């Protein structure tokens, strides 16, 4: 067996293009993934037309002036703003594709905001968004980008206004200093008003008409105090109507970039192991050496085992190199190296077994490679279809199909090894072992009549 393995490694050494591909492929993939994870998407360019007159960007809420420009910054956090002077210029840039979209802040925005806050019965300001609908994907990006930015700006403004309202209610309740139009007032407040009225009540003859009137005012004050005391909570609830609390029922939450690393490593492991095992087994038949080998020199099962071993010997180091490359960009826990090795080895053996089944069925290298690609790509895609993205029954079918191929358990194993994700490592390794045995049996049957 070892001589066959040595022979296969010699053949690989004599195939510099294939070896270069084996080394370069995971390296290139790891660099691309690393760059993608570490840099994130570029900010989209959005044209901004500010029609507000200079110095007209602030408005008054009670005693406080708020600057709209401060909240407009929320709009520009995740976009690259391109300031233009007119609506026409903005339309031109959108039409030419220079910018993803355009946002027009109307001249009356500040006034309308002021009026809306003063309950003057006017509509709040309307910002105009321009975008091109020629490209649906681009339209979707423009819409979602600008909508999410507007939502953030609204949220920031609403939060400030809520705080202000709460502050005034507290002054009304507790009393204290209050500024309006440059003048300071000392507001008595409901609580102090009540205390003063109680003092007055004690001086009045019990049962008198005046005492009854003062008592009624005191009762009203108490009612107001009790209810305004809750005003902060009520305002907070209005400012942020829905609170979200995340509860993990089971499993370990894996960050998206860490999961992306697991997916990319598993895909590379799959390609190297499946292509190598299928190709090298098919090569034995293409070189007509198969008949010579199995007539007593090596058993058919031994030959299959050697090819699976070859796939593991090549694929595991290749993907480890890839992990090292990714490690430059993404934090990896090197303390779990032994688990990585176990997961990659289990995955490589599972993929290798699938590869020899393909190689045994295809019988020549080109057909084996084509079959390997045609089979493994959709299987990999199916295995990462998230729950809830398709109908329940279809998802069950996808899960059942994925369970018949090594990609899903290999991904689970790699994810568990890299990210402590669930299920824990032993379960997918057992799954891979069962699949490897099944595929070896299939390959053995396919080789029964080969010569």
Partner 1 sequence: MTTAAANDAPAIAAGDLVKRYGRREALRGVSFVAGAGEVVAVIGPNGAGKTTLLSILAGIQPPTSGTVSREPREVGWVPQSPAVYRKLSVAENLRLFARLEKVGDPEAVVTAMLEQTGLAERADDELGELSGGNRQRVNIAVGLLADPPVLLLDEPSSSLDPRQRERLWEFIGALAAGGTAVVFSTHNVGEAERYADRVLVLADGEALFTGSPGGLEALVGGDPRDFEAAFVRFLHERGH
> Are the C-beta atoms of 90 and 104 separated by less than 8 Å?
yes
Q: How far is the CB of 451 from partner 1 (least distance, A)?
A: 5
User: How many chain residues bind partner 1 (CB under 8 A)?
Assistant: 22
> Nearest CA to 79 among 126, 145, 150, 152?
145
* Stretch of 2-10, 142-150, 153-161, 242-250 contacting partner 1, by CB under 8 A: 2-10
Minimum CB separation from partner 1 for residue 357, in Å?
21
Rounded CA-CA distance 399/416 in Å is 19
Nearest residue (CB) to partner 1, 252 versus 292: 292
**H/E run at residue 66:** strand 64-67
> In terms of C-beta density within 10 A (0-12 exposed, 13-18 middle, 19 or more buried), how is residue 282 classed?
buried
Q: Mark residues 276-305: x for contact with partner 1 by CB under 8 A, - for none.
A: -----------xxxxxxxxxxxx-------
**365 scored as a contact of partner 1 (CB under 8 A):** no
Residues in the chain: 451
| Shortest Å, Cβ 8 to partner 1 | 9
CB of 289 to partner 1, least distance (A): 5
- The residue (of 201 and 289) whose beta carbon lies closer to partner 1 is 289
Token pair 């009624």: residue:
216
Residues 6+ apart with CB under 8 A from 46: 76, 79, 80, 81, 82, 99, 100, 101, 102, 103, 145, 146
CA distances from 192 to 93, 187, 230, 393 (A): 61, 10, 18, 67
Q: Could you give the CA distance from residue 370 to residue 271 in angstroms, rounded to a whole number?
A: 12
Residues 296-355 that bind partner 1 (CB under 8 A): 296-298
Q: Taking contact as CB under 8 A, which single stretch among the options 6-14, 179-187, 200-208, 372-380 is the one that binds partner 1?
A: 6-14
How far is residue 57 from each of residues 61, 75, 131, measured CA to CA in Å? 13, 15, 25
Site for partner 1 in 32-51 (CB under 8 A): none
Give the nearest distance from C-beta 329 to partner 1 in angstroms: 37
Q: Which residue has the tokens 């008003």?
A: 193
Give CA–CA dist 359/447, Å, rounded. 10
CB of 360 to partner 1, least distance (A): 16
Identity of the residue, 245 or 295, whose beta carbon is nearer to partner 1 in the bound complex:
295
Binning the chain into helix, strand and coil, the percentages to the nearest 5 are 65, 10, 25
Of residues 9 and 437, the one with the C-beta less far from partner 1: 9
* Cross-strand pairs, 129: 103
Peptide bond into 423 cis (omega under 30): yes
Contact status: 16 vs partner 1 (CB under 8 A): no
Q: How far apart are CA 232 and CA 440, in angstroms?
A: 69
CB of 7 to partner 1, least distance (A): 5
Q: Which is nearer to partner 1, 8 or 191 (CB)?
A: 8
> Which of 15, 118, 148, 179 forms a contact with partner 1 (CB under 8 A)?
15
CB nearer partner 1, residue 39 or residue 295: 295
* Assigned token pair, 1: 């067996």
Distance between CA atoms of residues 389 and 402, nearest Å: 16
Residue 10 interacts with partner 1 (CB under 8 A): yes or no: yes
What's the min distance (Å) between Cβ of 137 and partner 1? Answer: 47
Reduced to 3 states (helix: H, G, I; strand: E, B; else coil), residue 215 is helix
Interaction of residue 7 with partner 1, rule CB under 8 A: yes
Question: Which C-beta is closer to partner 1: that of 145 or that of 285?
Answer: 285
Tell me whether residue 24 or residue 297 sits nearer to partner 1 (CB atom): 297
Is 14 a binding residue for partner 1 by CB under 8 A? The answer is yes
Q: Tell which positions 69-128 bind partner 1, by CB under 8 A.
A: none
Least distance in Å: CB of 3 to partner 1?
4
Q: Cβ closer to partner 1: 242 or 448?
A: 448
Residues in the site for partner 1, rule: CB under 8 A?
3-4, 6-7, 10-11, 14-15, 287-298, 449, 451
């Amino acid at each position: 067996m070892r001589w066959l393995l040595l022979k296969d490694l010699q053949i690989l050494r004599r195939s510099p293009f294939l070896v270069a591909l084996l080394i370069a492929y995971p390296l290139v993939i790891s660099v691309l993934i690393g760059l993608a994870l570490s840099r994130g998407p570029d900010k989209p360019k959005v044209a901004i037309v500010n029609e507000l007159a200079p110095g007209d960007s602030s408005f008054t809420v009670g005693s406080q002036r708020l600057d709209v420009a401060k909240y407009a910054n929320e709009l520009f956090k995740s976009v690259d703003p391109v300031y233009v002077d007119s609506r026409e210029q903005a339309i031109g840039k959108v039409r030419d594709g220079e910018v993803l979209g355009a946002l027009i802040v109307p001249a009356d925005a500040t006034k309308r905001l002021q009026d809306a806050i003063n309950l003057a019965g006017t509509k709040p300001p309307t910002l105009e968004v321009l975008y091109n609908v020629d490209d649906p994907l681009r339209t979707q990006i423009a819409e979602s980008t600008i909508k999410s930015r507007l939502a953030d700006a609204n949220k920031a403004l609403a939060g400030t206004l809520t705080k202000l309202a709460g502050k005034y209610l507290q002054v009304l309740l507790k009393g204290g200093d209050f500024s309006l139009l440059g003048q300071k007032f000392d507001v008595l407040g409901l609580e102090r008003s009540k205390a003063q009225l109680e003092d007055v009540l004690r001086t009045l003859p019990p049962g008198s008409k005046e005492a009854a009137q003062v008592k009624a005012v005191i009762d009203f004050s108490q009612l107001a105090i009790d209810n305004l005391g809750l005003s902060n909570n009520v305002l907070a609830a209005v400012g942020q109507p829905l609170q979200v609390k995340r509860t993990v029922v089971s499993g370990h939450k894996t960050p998206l970039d860490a999961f992306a690393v697991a997916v990319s490593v598993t895909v590379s492991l799959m390609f190297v192991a499946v292509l190598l095992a299928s190709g090298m087994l098919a090569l034995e038949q293409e070189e007509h050496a198969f008949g010579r080998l199995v007539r007593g020199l090596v058993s058919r099962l031994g030959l299959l085992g050697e090819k699976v071993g070859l796939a593991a010997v090549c694929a595991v180091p290749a993907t480890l190199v890839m992990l090292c490359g990714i490690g430059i960009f993404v934090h990896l826990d090197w303390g779990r190296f032994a688990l990585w090795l176990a997961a990659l080895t289990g995955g490589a053996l599972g993929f290798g077994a699938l590869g020899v089944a393909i190689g045994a069925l295809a019988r020549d290298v080109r057909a084996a490679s084509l079959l390997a690609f045609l089979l493994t790509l959709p299987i990999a895609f199916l295995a990462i279809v998230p729950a809830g993205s398709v109908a329940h029954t279809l998802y069950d079918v996808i899960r059942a199909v994925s369970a018949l191929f090594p990609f899903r358990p290999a991904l689970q194993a790699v994810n568990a090894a890299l990210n402590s994700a669930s299920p824990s490592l032993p379960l997918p390794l057992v799954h891979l072992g069962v699949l490897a045995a099944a595929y070896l049996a299939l390959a053995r049957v396919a080789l029964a009549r080969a010569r």
